[in-house]
Amino acid sequence: MWMYEKKAASSGFLLVAGVDEAGRGPLAGPVVSAAVILPAGFSVAGVNDSKKLSAAKRERLFDDIHSQALSVGVGIADHEEIDRLNILQASLLSMVRAVEHLSAKPDFLLIDGIFTLPSPLPQAPIKKGDSLSVSIAAASIIAKVTRDRLMDRYALEYPQYGFEKHKGYPTKMHRETIARFGACHIHRKSFGGVKEFV
């Protein structure tokens, strides 16, 4: 999990940030990205792709990562930006914002996926990076927990949709509530499964 960080360090880069997003697939809510710079002695066991962890484990690791990381940045692109830009461009925008919100400026980025960011910083996209890079895995956990907490707050505002259960993803329950109640303010109006009910 340290291979890509060590490779960047061997090339002279001192502050390597892992970057990942959560929320490309949902029908509602924002896409949330995180950027994380870890110290060389980072020792939290169990850091992995957030999708492979239980919610309780993610919550525990969220606090551990925050306590040990050199810097953590979060970036958000909301449902309106997603509809205006498309989900890919909104995801990249949220990643750029996450990097900009780091208190320590990174000199190299490791990015989950196959796309680079519109940033002058040296960077490397890594397919399935959240399973291959400890920095990207840490970012995936921060992004996922942050987004889940946001969706829990939206669940209080729009209780009929059950956002606390599915976090906006296109489950059978979520699709049925959209068909029954129509789209609410945070639904992605350009997405199939929503636009039909706007």
**Cβ neighbours of residue 80 closer than 8 Å, sequence gap 6 or more:** none
The CATH class for the domain spanning 3-147 reads alpha beta
Give pairs for 99-103: CB < 8 Å, separation 24+: 99/17, 99/19, 99/35, 99/73, 99/75, 100/73, 100/75, 101/35, 101/73, 101/74, 101/75, 102/17, 102/35, 102/37, 102/71, 102/72, 102/73, 103/71, 103/73
pLDDT reported for residue 35: 98
pLDDT per residue of the chain (198 residues) written in tens, 0 to 9: 889 999 999 999 999 999 999 999 999 999 999 999 999 888 777 887 778 889 999 999 999 999 999 999 999 999 999 999 999 999 999 999 999 999 999 999 999 999 999 999 999 999 999 999 999 999 999 999 999 999 999 999 999 999 999 999 999 999 999 999 999 999 999 999 999 999
Q: Are 37 and 135 in contact (CB under 8 A)?
A: yes
pLDDT reported for residue 29: 98
Which sequence spans correspond to the domains of the chain?
Answer: 3-147
